[in-house]
Structure 1
Amino acid sequence: MIPRPELISDLSASFELTSGATVSGDLVDAVRRALPLLDLRPGDSGEIDVRRDPAMGEEAYRLTVGSRGIEIVAGGGAGAFYAAQSLHQLLPPASYRFSERASWPVPGVRIEDAPRLGWRGLHLDVARHFFPKREVLRLIDLMAVHKLNRLHLHLADDQGWRVESRAYPLLHEVSSHRPRTATNYHREPEAYDDLPHGGYYTLDDLAEIGAYARARHVTIVPEIDVPGHASAILAAYPAFGATGEPHDVLERWGISPAILSPLPPTVEFLTTIFDELIGALGQTPYVHIGGDEVVLDHWAGSAEITAYRDELGLATVNDLQAWFLRRLADALAERGARAVVWDEAFVSGGLRQDTVVMPWRGMGVGRRAAAAGHDVVATPVFPLYFDYAEASSADEPMAIGDTITVADVAAFVPAPEEWTERERARVVGVQAQLWSERVPDARTVDYRLWPRACALAEVAWSGAASDGFAGRLEEHLGRLDAIGVEYRPQAGPHPWQRRRPHRPAGVRVAEVMERLDGMTHDAESTRPSV
């Protein structure tokens, strides 16, 4: 089973589960949603009996299969849902296919289980390449199978804005598309495909995504990345920029100097956007506000912004960036949501204490954030950036670099033993990132995520991959086959998944890690360059 339960023991008896079997008890709907292909029906007494135990955690469960039926005891709806996912994994892989088969044998077993980490996440960058609603809903289903519970949607970047705004309609009318896209993935020489690319989610789409996710115990974490990465926003509303000059939605990759102004109209604009996001999603306990890779030159060169900084009593533009992000976090707190940021925002200082930090540049800065009392979601480039290739082979599809393997992900420990107990307690989760500069379509999403996300699920649920993971993964691939996931085969890509000719190779992970180490070394005293 993936992820492996905390405690599993075999029992001698077994049970034949029939399609259309009845479910009775307290949490019937959660079990039925988890097993839609079995067409389970509610009843007064059923082959599957579900009971709530308030003494258990919300996501905890106990599953027992015997000759007389199946018993689930759970702390809440999430626990019952995860118990049903474990029950499904006890069935043959063919049970994941829609068919007319009437029954399935279930081996006798007793499982007692609860997750080690509360935040078990995947990140999908829909700004660089847009993926329509159907692909997001499918990803939520795949996450549910693996007991992953946070979907972080990167909705805005230099290359596109991906959500409707009724208050600022030029965002989706202008900023949601670009006339062409860079194809060389490096700045020199320039090469473009000359094909328009774009798309956005309506607020109704976002409401549907939120409801669909909640029914599967997945929380949507929307990200509006500010104050940098702002080319697309400023293409629609240049007045919110530091210079007021016109911008275009960026066609190439990399970091842009485009930056929002920190002045009050920009804060008002962003809080209105937050209101629209929160209103559409319904329940939004977290909103990611970015704070990464910010080029502050235009702030430093603006007399108006400098005067505003002086009025606030702030010494540097770095202090002003920290103030700006805290002001946004305060606005989110007023709306019942916590801010989430990338680690540069922590290094800048001044965060609200309840702000969640994602240390993408390495767990060294993550440890400093934890020591400072911030909740931390482990997101380091190595081994959790899934836009990196899985092998140093010319056959691999184009990636930003190589190599991050399934084994690398399985070996990751989010809260290392050498950290203090207090620091480890601040690691609330782990999340893999899929940036989409080199992920142009849904088939590539499948290839990049799976089966590495299976290893992520094990680490996120258990805190570390357990013995025998490789063997269990081999069996689990049969389930992915049945579901229709176009994952990367363990032996390497199928012929149709291989790299297109004449594409340059990416950079090596070791080179990236060396650079990131330099960026984060002695981060307590180092400020971002101006």
Structure 2
Amino acid sequence: MIPEPVSMVAAEGAFALGADTLLDAPAELAGVASWLRTTLRLPLAPGGGGVGLRVDPALGPEAYEVRCTPERLEITGGSAAGVFYGGQTLRQLLPPQALRRAGPVGWAVPAVTISDRPRFGWRGVMLDVARHFMPVADVLRFVDLAAFHKLNVLHLHLTDDQGWRLPVPGWPRLTEVGAWRSESMLGARQHARFDGRPHGGFYTAGDLREIVAYAGERHVRVVPEVDMPGHMQAAVAAYPKLGNGFEGGVRTGWGISSHVLNLGDEALRFCRDVLDELCELFPSELIGIGGDECPRDEWGGEDRQPAFTALMAEHLAARGRRIYGWDEILEGGAPAGAVVAAWRGAEPTTIAARSGHQVVSCPDISVYLDYRQSDDPGEPTPVGTLLSLAEVYAFSAVPEGLSEAERELVLGGQANVWTEHMETARQVDYMTYPRLSAFAEAVWDAPGRSYASFEARLPGHLERLDALAVNYRPVSGPRPWDARPDAPGNPRELQDRLAELAEMTARLDRSKLA
């Protein structure tokens, strides 16, 4: 079972789960009960029967218990979310064929008592739909797979230099122009290869509401992100008046554009309009404003970003929201109430916590799932440092040396799926699984977890991923058809990346480490 439960005690016998099984659930669990009926492909008729769903607040919000005897199967959670996680555990107690959408139904559930709870409240995964647009159906499937692993946050990266995926009232050219590019780069940018094929797409307001509702039914909160004031070439291509003299198209190459917002009155109004629309479409308290990798060239070298970040934080606060930004927002002082996504190695998590900010740990060298999985020449477009399955499993969200109060500020961890080199859902599957399975166990973080145990359980879990039609990377290595000789990569050595990260984070206040 992945993630491994805190406690699991097997007993004799099994419970027969079939078409005549009755389901007993209170009204507050109607959503979970409906989901369970659908996912098990069983009627589970309402009544005082053999399956019971219960809420017991004494357990804690996301904790749950599964008690299965030959006579009864009961799932109790500290909230509806806890009951939902118990239902996901039930799915893993069944044979893999129970996860398929067709075939026989009715299974024996082994008698067992499971008591379980996560360590962290933020168990997230970021999906980049800006570099390569992912249709709604693929996003919903991505949510289903994350929820199957008991992840509870989807950070949706909606805009970047290479594409704008969000409609904003009053700014129609964002999707008419900014959502489309003339071609895409093939492989790492050092090779300067292009495919010559237009690419693009965007979500309607209805699409985004559907994603939010679907995720919410699976107890996944969606945190939207529109990157600002940098990573804005798509917006400036649509509205040159927002920029600093640039008049060109949506960026076709990877990497960071120097074409940023000018931060004049019109650009500030634009940003507020964007944030207002995010608040309309997404109920999340946190709204992502990015804030990373913003060149200052077009500002004459002046650093206008801290003042800009403070203005956006003030605007969101007036709507009862808070900003969520990459750790660059710490440079010059992040606004009070900001939540930091600490990505530039492990150090920014420590600095954020010691600065009094809530922080989500997502260091690139540990949880960036676009990074290569091995040194095998058959890996598709190998970029970044080596990030094997075992190295993802070894991730720890809380750095050593923090005080108890500082550790409480670490909300959890997040894996990031950047899609420059993932044009399709099939390629996202290959780069994401089973590494995201390992990450899910790392942030569930049951006491005593070990990679040896995970490795022993993984073959059975891969059978589940097969049943769910996931194009995961085999443990034995890439298959011949996984390779991308037309899209060469740029592997990096860890020591080189660590030196680069030290230079990138030089503007952070290391005095807070003392």
1:392–1:402 Cα contact (<8 Å) kept: no
1:444 to 421, 424, 427: 427
DSSP 3-state at the match of 2:82: helix
Q: Does 1:230 align with 2:232?
A: yes
1:410 to 393, 399, 414: 393
Shift of 1:19: 3.8
Q: Distance in 1 between matches of 2:299 and 2:48?
A: 67
Q: Percent identity?
A: 40
- The aligned amino acid for 1:434 is V
Residue 482 of structure 2 aligns with which residue? Answer: 497
Q: Distance in 1 between matches of 2:365 and 2:103?
A: 44
1:187–1:461 Cα change, 3 Å:
same
Residue 210 of structure 2 aligns with which residue? Answer: 208
Q: Does 1:485 align with 2:470?
A: yes
1:28–1:42 Cα contact (<8 Å) kept: no
1:373–1:426 Cα contact (<8 Å) kept: yes
Aligned residue runs from structure 1 range 138-157, under 5 A: 138-157=141-160
- The aligned amino acid for 2:371 is Y
Shift of 1:290: 0.7
DSSP 3-state at the match of 2:120: coil
DSSP 3-state at the match of 1:339: strand
1:287–1:339 Cα contact (<8 Å) kept: yes
1:420 to 386, 403, 409: 403
Residue 504 of structure 2 aligns with which residue? Answer: 519
Deviations 1:81-119 (A, max 9, x none): 001001111111111012342321111111111111111
Please report the TM-score for the alignment, with normalisation by the length of structure 1: 0.91
Residue 182 of structure 1 aligns with which residue? Answer: 185
Residue 3 of structure 1 aligns with which residue? Answer: 3
- The aligned amino acid for 1:14 is A
1:366–1:248 Cα change, 3 Å:
same
DSSP 3-state at the match of 1:479: helix
DSSP 3-state at the match of 2:234: helix
The worse-fitting range, judged by mean Cα deviation, of 250-259 and 267-276 is 267-276
Shift of 1:69: 1.1
1:272–1:486 Cα change, 3 Å:
same
Q: Does 1:274 align with 2:275?
A: yes
Q: Which runs of 5 or more structure 2 residues have no equivalent in the other structure?
A: none
Q: Does 1:99 align with 2:102?
A: yes
- The aligned amino acid for 2:277 is E
1:389–1:399 Cα contact (<8 Å) kept: yes
1:411–1:464 Cα contact (<8 Å) kept: no
Deviations 1:242-296 (A, max 9, x none): x244232111111111111223332221221222222223x22221101111111
Aligned residue runs from structure 1 range 38-187, under 5 A: 38=40, 39-187=42-190
1:186–1:217 Cα change, 3 Å:
same
1:339 to 323, 343, 355: 323
Shift of 1:338: 1.8
Shift of 1:11: 2.1
Residue 454 of structure 2 aligns with which residue? Answer: 469
Please report the TM-score for the alignment, with normalisation by the length of structure 2: 0.94
Shift of 1:50: 1.2
Q: Distance in 2 between matches of 1:328 and 1:51?
A: 42
DSSP 3-state at the match of 2:124: strand
2:76–2:83 Cα contact (<8 Å) kept: yes
2:65–2:77 Cα contact (<8 Å) kept: yes
2:382–2:488 Cα contact (<8 Å) kept: no
Q: Distance in 2 between matches of 1:382 and 1:425?
A: 23
Shift of 1:185: 2.0
Shift of 1:505: 4.1
Q: Distance in 1 between matches of 2:293 and 2:486?
A: 32
| Superposition CA RMSD, Å | 1.9
Q: Which runs of 5 or more structure 1 residues have no equivalent in the other structure?
A: 302-316
DSSP 3-state at the match of 1:105: strand
1:459–1:465 Cα contact (<8 Å) kept: no
